[in-house]
Amino acid sequence: MEPILLYDTTLRDGTQGENINFTAEEKIKIAQRLDDIGIHYIEGGWPGSNPRDRRFFELAKNTKFKNARLAAFGSTRRPGMDPADDVNVTAMLESATPVVTIFGKSWDLHVEQVMNNTLEENLAKIRETVANLSQNKRQVIYDAEHFFDGFKENSSYALKTLMAAVDGGADIVVLCDTNGGTLPFEIDSITRHVLKILREKQDKSPVDAPVKIGIHTHNDSGMAAANSITAVRAGAQLVQGTINGYGERCGNADLISIIPILCLKMERQCISKQNLKKIKRLSRFVSEAANIVPLNTRPFVGKSAFAHKGGIHVSAIMKVPRAYEHLSPESVGNERRVLVSDLAGKSNVEYKAKELGIELGRNGYDSGRIVSKIKQLEQEGYQFDVAEGSLKIMMEKFTDQFKSSFELESFRVTIEKDKSHPCSAHATIKISVDGRQEITAAEGQGPVSALDNALRKALDKFFPNLNSMGLVDFKVRVIDGRAGPAAKVRVLIDSRDQDEIWSTIGVSEDIIEASWQALADSFQYKLSKAQSAYRSAESKKTATSRS
């Protein structure tokens, strides 16, 4: 079987999603990550539409790609105009990419009622624009916009638009489910029909390189990935999509899901198995660039993708992992997680202790006693299955293995408000590290922000590596609202550095106290991790020097 070509449009179609925006420099960094993992085509943007995309293509001229071919995107020529005189077509050529992707209308509704054009002129636009780009020595990919909707209403005309692109010299024609409403069985039958028509045309007028079929789907019916896979089974050789499924409305087909399915479940060649292990990091990198919190339940790479909570499940995977896992988490760069909660059994705690490097039994705390303690704490409002950072610290404290990086002596938080200004928060904090005390003060956007800034400022005197750590999310939940303003609250804080995201928890009737518990655990977790990494590096140095 021929390999499946991957076409990423995160840098163009992905940025049409709400609240997603990349600078030209960020787009270059993302493109380099896409190239590194083995993506075949990277669509950089629409050089004829905005200055940012034009700058991206200027930067890209000095960027070397080892695996990917860069594509500029644009539309067919304007009505009644020679493609050579169309500024949009000229901009695509001036971008100097080896590939140009253009879209055209395949649905007669759009041609006549939206564009106020004629069906014949639309065909001429497609044919002439493709021919112009092809004559300029570009590989041309033609996106047949709204193809499936157009085919269902006027199959004859939709096919004519494809043939216009083929006659113009298109190398690949892409069938687009632009509205995202087509179902897999429709994708299957229509794609097979198109391939049959193209083969018949090929038999009549053979050329050296037969036209390939691609698929481009949107997720408005929750079917984008399924539709893409269905099209591949029907004969499509190129799949378009975005990282994390980012895109307009409900998003595009998610390459993060599609790639492992193609590689591991369908055994279709697209990227190497070694590169497949980088897919989780790619997903996280793009989510960070987009400033969007990673989706825990994202298939294959999400934090919860291989998480096990029930005691029976954990007992099973400790014996035979595939009993509750559809593939190895390591194959996609992920890891198995065992959650500990009031539903946990001893198996959960034993697995978690081994994973975290905690020796059970010390200080009288074996797995059974820890399970009992966890159930008691969860009855009080804690929730450790969503706060593994705090779980690690708690288990270390139970077993007398916790080494605190700092101790709180005291803090004070004040809020000021007058009639003409919004609230302002100030925090003063006193901590000690190995007997040395530090007192600092800081302002913030609120009391927790002020506390975070003050603690970070104080710790920076002792631990200069905290710049890589940042707060991702802050959530407050009332545990039982019947107590009114005196109700106990649960605070969850998500923090991240360049390697991972971790969660910590605090519970109290006082929201500031609960926030402090979660905040302090977050910093303790980060500092403990940094110190472990340092000890590991020093150990390796010692071993190397001895050898």
User: Are 267 and 326 in the same domain?
Assistant: no
Is 73:102 a contact under the CB 8 Å cutoff? yes
Beta-carbon contacts of residue 29 (< 8 Å; ≥ 6 apart): 289
User: Would 292 be classed as within a structural domain?
Assistant: no
User: Are 323 and 202 in the same domain?
Assistant: no
User: Would 314 be classed as within a structural domain?
Assistant: yes
**pLDDT of res. 319:** 87
User: Are 218 and 338 in the same domain?
Assistant: no
User: Would 300 be classed as within a structural domain?
Assistant: no
User: Would 542 be classed as within a structural domain?
Assistant: no
User: Would 27 be classed as within a structural domain?
Assistant: yes
User: Would 435 be classed as within a structural domain?
Assistant: yes
Looking at residue 454, its amino acid is A
pLDDT tens-place string over residues 398-431: 899 899 999 999 999 999 988 888 888 999 999 9
User: Would 524 be classed as within a structural domain?
Assistant: yes
User: Are 314 and 373 in the same domain?
Assistant: yes
User: Are 193 and 148 in the same domain?
Assistant: yes
Split into its structural domains, the chain has a count of 3
Examine the fold and report which residue of 248, 271, 294 is the final residue of a domain before the chain moves on.
271
**pLDDT of res. 542:** 64
User: Are 363 and 421 in the same domain?
Assistant: no
Kindly report the CATH number assigned to the domain that includes residue 13: 3.20.20.70
**pLDDT of res. 145:** 97
Instruction: Report the chain's C-alpha Rg in angstroms.
Output: 28
User: Are 349 and 452 in the same domain?
Assistant: no
User: Are 422 and 374 in the same domain?
Assistant: no
Name the nearest CA neighbour of 234 among 200, 265, 262, 192. Answer: 192
User: Are 251 and 318 in the same domain?
Assistant: no
User: Are 326 and 428 in the same domain?
Assistant: no
For residue 531, give the 3-state DSSP assignment. Answer: helix
Count CA atoms closer than 13 A to 344's CA, side-chain side.
Answer: 31
pLDDT tens-place string over residues 194-228: 999 999 888 777 666 789 999 999 999 999 999 99
CB atoms within 10 A of CB 317: 18
**pLDDT of res. 175:** 98
Q: Which residues form the domain of 361? A: 307-380
Structure tokens at 533: 């990494």
DSSP symbols for 466-522? GGG-EEEEEEEEES-GGGGGG--EEEEEEEE-SS-EEEEEEEESSHHHHHHHHHHHH
pLDDT tens-place string over residues 479-517: 876 767 778 899 999 998 877 889 999 999 999 999 999
For residue 258, give the 3-state DSSP assignment. Answer: helix
User: Would 546 be classed as within a structural domain?
Assistant: no
**287 phi, psi to nearest 5 deg:** -65, -35
User: Are 412 and 311 in the same domain?
Assistant: no
Residue ranges of the chain whose pLDDT lies below 70: 206-208, 341-345, 481, 483, 533-547
Mean residue pLDDT of the chain comes to: 91
**pLDDT of res. 535:** 63
Structure tokens at 180: 């995202």
Is 359:397 a contact under the CB 8 Å cutoff? no
User: The whole model's pTM is what?
Assistant: 0.74
Kindly report the CATH number assigned to the domain that includes residue 516: 3.30.160.270
User: Are 11 and 133 in the same domain?
Assistant: yes
